[in-house]
Amino acid sequence: MEEIGFLGTGIMGKAMAVNLLRHGFKVTVWNRTLSRCDELVQHGASVGETPAAVVKKCKYTIAMLSDPAAALSVVFDKDGALEQICGGKGYIDMSTVDADTSSKISEAITSKGGCFVEAPVSGSKKPAEDGQLVILAAGDKALYDQVLPAFDVLGKKSFFLGQVGNGAKMKLVVNMIMGSMMNAFSEGVVLADKSGLDPHTLLDVLDLGAIANPMFKMKGPAMINNSYPPAFPLKHQQKDMRLALALGDENAVPMPVAAAANEAFKKARSLGLGDHDFSAVFETIRGAQSST
């Protein structure tokens, strides 16, 4: 493949860019705080001074930003990606955003002759490091086919979901389910503990039953030990709950469970837990119980 540009080197972006470099791809990176690119330079990356500079240099540019505002800013602001988009350029946005944001970016890219694919991912820090993400792509099928070699390095499975917006919607549905599950799991762990049961035994029981899943197995022991290293920051989970609820409003789907989970994540943010892992929502339930 041609050289790949990579915009955004946060928790996810850094791990993904490192994987591309380890598999022999030439990568030029950019981050709003450029010093965060230093570690990637040690792995062989080049650094672009602006998103526009990265797009000018690279045929394909991947963006992995924190939220819709950041995704739009990197495209539309001065020295943004759009300034250097032209025929033959491909822009792949792997950020988790709403369908409207994805459509705005797509329309801008294609209006200048470029091609666009949205490709949000299911998975957090560890799957990103291990190349085990699930990629939820939509948009230009020809561009999707061209960047599949990169997707195969970044993920264990790529889905092509059709028109722009479908990838964003699928990701929001997945994260809405995940956030709701985390709240139910947290309530169960606290309930077991306060009922005189060993929470570790609860984890063992859950792991042997029909609702066994990697999230409970991976997050549970750390939660019991009050440890929340940020694989997926809570502030981003709450953002995704909010966007999923807006999608529910748009489609007249009642979502009382997700709405309640969103309130718990908002409470956690108000307690200063936004930069902790999303499993730190556990503190809102344990804290509420302790105060009664």
Q: Where along the chain do its domains lie?
A: 2-162, 167-284
Sign, Cα dihedral of 243, 246, 247, 248: positive
Task: Check residues 196 and 287 and name the one with the higher pLDDT.
Answer: 196
- Look at residue 219 in the predicted model and tell me its pLDDT: 97
Task: Check residues 290 and 241 and name the one with the higher pLDDT.
Answer: 241
Instruction: Kindly calculate the radius of gyration of the chain based on its CA atoms and give it in whole angstroms.
Output: 20
How would you class 8 by CB atoms within 10 Å of its CB: exposed for 0-12, middle for 13-18, buried for 19 or more?
buried
CA 167, 11, 36, 154: dihedral to nearest 10 degrees? -60
Q: Which residues pair with 117 in a beta bridge?
A: 92, 139
Of 240, 241, 230, 243, nearest to 278 by C-alpha is 230
Question: Which tokens is 272 given?
Answer: 């200063």
Average of per-residue pLDDT values in the chain: 96
- Look at residue 290 in the predicted model and tell me its pLDDT: 52
Phi/psi for 139 (5° steps) reads: 125, -135
Q: Which residues pair with 116 in a beta bridge?
A: 91
pTM for this model (two decimals)? 0.92
- Look at residue 292 in the predicted model and tell me its pLDDT: 46
Among 21-35, 62-76, 168-182, 278-292, the least confident range: 278-292
Q: Which residue has the tokens 């970044």?
A: 154
Mean pLDDT of 47-74: 97
- Look at residue 287 in the predicted model and tell me its pLDDT: 81
Judged against a pLDDT cut of 60, whether residue 63 lies above it is answered with: yes
Judged against a pLDDT cut of 80, whether residue 94 lies above it is answered with: yes
What architecture is domain 2-162? 3-Layer(aba) Sandwich (3.40)
Of 21, 25, 101, 14, nearest to 59 by C-alpha is 25
2-162 and 167-284: identical CATH topology: no
What confidence category does residue 147 fall into, taking pLDDT thresholds of 50, 70 and 90?
very high
DSSP state for residue 58 in the 8-state scheme: -
DSSP state for residue 278 in the 8-state scheme: G
Judged against a pLDDT cut of 80, whether residue 212 lies above it is answered with: yes
| DSSP output for 279-292 | GGGHHHHHHHHHT-
- For the chain, the distance separating the N- and C-terminal CA atoms, rounded to the nearest angstrom, is 59
Please identify every residue annotated as catalytic: 171
pLDDT in tens, 263-281: 999 999 999 999 999 999 9
CA 128, 133, 136, 138: dihedral to nearest 10 degrees? 60
Phi/psi for 196 (5° steps) reads: 90, 15
Mean pLDDT of 119-144: 96
pLDDT in tens, 214-248: 999 999 999 999 999 999 999 999 999 999 999 99
Judged against a pLDDT cut of 60, whether residue 35 lies above it is answered with: yes
Q: Which residues pair with 155 in a beta bridge?
A: 133
Judged against a pLDDT cut of 80, whether residue 288 lies above it is answered with: no
Neighbouring C-beta atoms of residue 272, cutoff 10 Å? 10
Neighbouring C-beta atoms of residue 75, cutoff 10 Å? 24
* CATH 1.10.1040.10 is the classification of domain 167-284: yes
